[in-house]
Amino acid sequence: MLPDMPSARAMLDELLLARIEERHIRFLAREGALPDDMPGCNFMLKTDLVHGAQVGTLIGGIVGLVAGIILVLMPPEGLSMRTATILLMALGGALFGAWASGMNGCAIPNKRLEQFTDRVQQGQVLMIVDVPVRRVREVEAMIADRHPDFNFGGEEPPMVAFP
């Protein structure tokens, strides 16, 4: 958390000088407080879209798998189901679950950013920097030099594209 917008602008400049690309830096401030030339949080960071889609994929895949097994074991009269039905039902369930749960997740604020909401509304600016693990300590030291009272929110574990 940075105390104000000038501090955020100064940190952006320092991070750019440290050869961290702008696409790896995000700021979250009060509505309308962030200037257009500073990178803000995108829709996927502000909402629970990713988490919702992950949960939906898992649940939909399991439900589709069970439905496929039931269809193969007890097919409708006059039809013969092949084992590929199980795979197709699991895939269809996973896709539908990801879509449906992702749509619900779009309406929910990001749970990981909830702890910062009060301070953002008071005028502070949340800075999110996505760097490789080997550079985390370097970036933390650079920030601590400029803002000794800076409190780090922590590190997120590396996230895979598909759970």
Say whether both 63 and 92 belong to one domain: yes
Helices (H) and strands (E) in the chain, counts: 6, 2
Confidence (pLDDT) at 157: 56
Of the candidates 72, 62, 119, the residue with the CA atom closest to the CA atom of residue 94 = 62
Confidence (pLDDT) at 59: 96
Q: Name 142's bridge partners.
A: none
Confidence (pLDDT) at 19: 86
Confidence (pLDDT) at 110: 84
Say whether both 26 and 53 belong to one domain: no
The answer to whether residue 157 sits within a structural domain is: no
Q: Tens digit of pLDDT per residue, the chain (163 long)?
A: 888 888 888 888 888 888 888 888 889 888 877 888 888 888 888 888 888 999 999 999 999 999 999 998 888 887 777 888 899 999 999 999 999 999 999 888 888 888 888 888 888 888 888 888 888 888 888 877 776 666 665 555 555 544 4
Q: Please answer whether residues 52 and 101 qualify as being in contact, where contact means their C-beta atoms are separated by less than 8 angstroms.
A: yes
Sign, CA torsion 62/112/158/104: positive
Give the three-state DSSP class for 122. coil
The answer to whether residue 155 sits within a structural domain is: no
Please tell me whether the overall predicted TM-score, pTM, comes out greater than 0.75 for this model: no
Q: Which helix (H) or strand (E) holds 121?
A: helix 117-121
Q: Which helix (H) or strand (E) holds 26?
A: strand 25-28
Q: Into how many domains does the chain fold?
A: 2
Sign, CA torsion 102/105/111/114: positive
The answer to whether residue 154 sits within a structural domain is: no
Domain holding 137, by residue range, is 5-42+112-146
Confidence (pLDDT) at 150: 63
